[in-house]
Amino acid sequence: MLQKRIDDQPTISRQMVREAQDILHRHLKGVGLKQTAQRDTILRTFLETRDHLSTDELHRLVQKKDARIGYTTVYRTLKLLAECGLASEVAFHDGIARYEHQYNRRSHHHMVCTDCGSSVEFFSQEVGELEQEIGRKYHYLTTRHTFQIYGVCEDCRKKNHTPRPL
């Protein structure tokens, strides 16, 4: 995985995992689905891995903990995590849907290299303020946004002998 991740907290505590499980369990109840040990294993694995994960990547990690958990269960659980706000889908230039956890994280953004696919997360208060300003202008109560900047990273520029931007 090429994505570099910047987090407020390098690890997630057991208490935070329990709180995230409570959020998932409430959502499951609300949509008429059962709480299962498999879904809890997927959630824990997802929260403990601090990367942008595709369904395939998460499935491989989950299989190490419980080989009985199938790909479809991981796929459907990721969708449930996104529905209840514990995950969000991030699209990079490779066309593969990746997910990152959103539990107890402040808003952040991505810079994505169009050559190698690496990404860097960054924080910007100004982007959040712009979201609120645009929401007010168009009479929206904004709840979230996505913001990605595409370009060529320093390593790829060096490799391709591309000059630095001014």
Structural domain range at position 151 = 106-166
pLDDT tens readout for residues 80-93:
999 998 888 877 66
Q: Are residues 100 and 161 in the same domain?
A: no
Question: What percentage of the chain exceeds 90 in pLDDT?
Answer: 40
Q: How many domains does the chain have?
A: 2
Asked if 43 contacts 80 with a C-beta cutoff of 8 angstroms, the reply is no
Largest CA distance in the chain: 56
| Average confidence (pLDDT) over 51-80 | 94
Which stretches within 35-122 are classed as H helix? 37-48, 55-65, 71-83
Q: Confidence class of residue 163 from pLDDT cuts 50, 70 and 90? A: low
CA nearest to 153, candidates 120, 105, 108, 125? 120
Q: Are residues 68 and 117 in the same domain?
A: no
Tokens of 154: 């320093």
Whether pTM > 0.85 for this model: the answer is no
**CATH number for the domain including 33?**
1.10.10.10
Q: What is the mean pLDDT of the chain?
A: 84
Provide the 3-class DSSP secondary structure of residue 9: coil
**CATH number for the domain including 160?**
3.30.1490.190
Ranking 23-32, 47-56, 67-76, 93-102 by mean pLDDT, the lowest is: 93-102
Q: Confidence class of residue 103 from pLDDT cuts 50, 70 and 90? A: low
| Average confidence (pLDDT) over 128-157 | 86
